[in-house]
Each structure stands twice: as structure tokens, then as C-alpha cells.
Amino acid sequence: MKLRIGTRRSRLAIAQAREVAALLARLGVQSELAPMITSGDRGVSPAGAAAGVKGLFVAEIVRSLQDGEIDLAVHSAKDLPAGDPEGVVIVAVPERADPFDVLITRDGSIQTGAVVGTSSLRRTAQLRRSRPELEIVDVRGNVDTRLAKLERGEVDGLVLAAAGLDRLGVDRGHSTPFPLEEMVPAPGQGALAVQAREGDEATIEVAAQLNRPRSRSAFEAERALVRAMGGDCSLPLGAYAEDRNGLVHLLGIVIRPDGSDLVRAEAESRSPEDSARKVAEDLLAAGAGAILADVQAE
């Protein structure tokens, strides 16, 4: 058996797919990568792309999987839409990497008035709330592009996902992890999702061996919360779940983009879906609906 693994062409996506290929190799399974340029990479929206912006980065890969051109697809879990497309199933969530965000600078320090770059509404809002002394600016592009802007002095700092830096082999010597109390990560951050074609039992049986139940239950809880809150990656929503000896503990926040309003809820249950339902109910009861409605109206 030699499996074809679909992935985006970015350096980080290739690193993620190679991680899965290495895990398969430990099982004695050969694989090859099939890199693709997605509509999200090209900045265009194909007809039928699933779940808005998130779907732009996975639509072509999913379609190739549905059509039998590839056997597996590997995605950053935070890029996935909240629901599964027809004929495709998530068969594995391997061991989750560091799920948190870090502040990376040129020399390890940051001063009052420093310019910090991020393209994430979630990160921007939390920074504005916890670090009002900083100037937050929009910085887009892949990790290498952003790091180059830091080195050129266009910004004094960047907020990036620790997992992405680690997978790219970027030295984190001048980075500071954000505590959970200050920066709740994106749902699925640090996790990989491995998709297979529904009914392809041979591939599913092999790939399912990569699944790690604790990582999977945390992913399912965070994804279910996104679904319950509207399923849109542009929402200023943070989520972090942990499997604590069979109990899934989930923290969720919704925050106004200027950082002025933040609602927070936590719940614990044996079921990821139950934890997500309880957190969503508490967030909405605390006013998250009004914040999200205002964001979506802008």
C-alpha cells in the first residue's frame, strides 16, 4: 500500500504532511505527498467552496479526496470548516503540538508603544485588552513573510502560533509564550486533522492508527463550539480544551474586536459535544450573541 497525501503547497503545510507521512512510515506504510495550490492561496473563491473563508484553503484538496485522486488529506485543524463535507471523514487527529500563541521579537524585549503585527481578529482583540500600550497592526502572509518583516524592522513583534514555528524549525529563542489567561488560542490550533474518503476501509484502518484519543476529544470539543457559535473562522472566538482523565474541560471566549468586551465560559463533561454545548449556552447567556452580531454587521 502506498498512500497519496494531499496538502497545500506552503512550507508549513508540507511540514505538516511530512509529519503524518513519518508517522505512517513507522507503521510500515509508504506514502507520497501531492501538494496543491488552493483557492485561498490564490485569493479567489471557487463555486461551492465549503464554509466561507475556511473552505477556501481546503476545497480543492477535499474535492481531490472525494474524486479518488488522493487517499488522505492533511490539514491544520484550525483551517477546517466546522462541518465535514459529503463523503469525507476525519480518521485521525495525531498528538497535538503546542496549541498556544507566542510573541516573537528581534531581541526578546518589547517596549511601550511597540508595533506588533498579526492578521487574526482573535489575537488583535485579546492584545488590545491585555496590552493596551502596544500598537497592533495587520500583517499578512506566510510565516516566513511575516518573520522577514520583523527582521526588516517593519514591526517590533509578531504574534504567531508556537506549533507553526516548531514545525518549521524556527528558533523560538526570542519568543515569549502567552499565558492562557491573556491569549486563548484558536479552536484546533496545534492539531492536525487527517481526512479519508468515506468507504475506503483499507485506508481508514491504517490512518486511524495515528489517532490519539486525548487530542481528538479536545479537537472535537473546540470544533463543536465553533459550530454552536456560528461556524465562521472570522469570529473573535478563542477555545481551548483538554482531556483530563476522561473528562473534557473546555474554555471558550468571545471578545469584541477593540478588546472592550469579553465573555468567558468553562465546562467539563465526558462528552466533547456536551462540553461545547454548555460553554456555548453560557457564552450566549453572558452576551456573546450581541458581540458576534455586531462583528458580523461590520
Active site amino acids: 79
Burial 99-130 (b: 16+ CB within 10 A, else e): bbbbbbbeeeebeeebebbbebbbbbbbbbbe
Q: How many CB atoms lie within 10 A of CB 138?
A: 10
Q: State the virtual CA torsion across 121, 127, 133, 135 in degrees, nearest 10.
A: -30
Q: Between β-strands 101-105 and 157-161, what pairing exists: parallel, antiparallel or unpaired?
A: antiparallel
Q: State the virtual CA torsion across 209, 213, 215, 216 in degrees, nearest 10.
A: 90
What angle do helix axes 272-285 and 288-297 make, rounded to 10 degrees? 80
Question: Cell match 465549503: residue?
Answer: 50
Rounded Cα distance, 108 and 126, in Å: 21
